Structure 1
Amino acid sequence: MKDHKIVNIGKYIFGLCFLLGNIFFSGYFITESGWFVEWGIFFLFYGIMANLLAVIGLLLYGFASKLKMNACLKAIGLIMFNIPIGFLYVMLGINLIFK
């Protein structure tokens, strides 16, 4: 696999999780519907699992192919950028729900 494809995997995973997180957060913020809270928590749990599996897969691929380790670490960095964003959304969501 080429380096740009590996980095693109990280971009796609980051973008998908970021987009879905924004949809659930904005949906609750706009409509104040409990449906968005329930599915947002559901997505948060499974999104963490999906990101974790992607990181583990990229690490294993990087260790198996030493020449691709830099590209794998770049992709992992992009995926891990979801953590502070998710934490911010959780804190804002808690403040919105319990205001």
Structure 2
Amino acid sequence: MDIFNCFGRQFCLHFEAFFLGTAPVYMTFLRFMGEESDAKRFSYNLEVGSFGRKLVWQGVPRSIRDSHRKVRDCQDGLIIPRSLALYFSSGDGQELKLRITGRIWKV
């Protein structure tokens, strides 16, 4: 988990591995440190890619009041299948080295 300051507010970037059914996946998403009503004043996007390909997620940050498990269970973030994550990492399928970029803006 990383914390970012933006527009005088704080946001938490989460990254975790879990199983979606029987498939291993990684998920990253943003949570706003505050109330849901304030979180809806912002939007964000996250991007991961390499070798001329990319995955992009755009959404509204969830409030920190929602647990990370709740956000994960409703799949409200960028979901990266393990095989694609390894491909983006180096192409050899050996080590996970993802570069996730994104931005936050006011709506």
Q: Which has the higher contact order (CA 8 A, sep 6+)?
A: 1
With the shorter chain as reference, the TM-score category is under 0.3
More strand by share: 2
More helix by share: 1
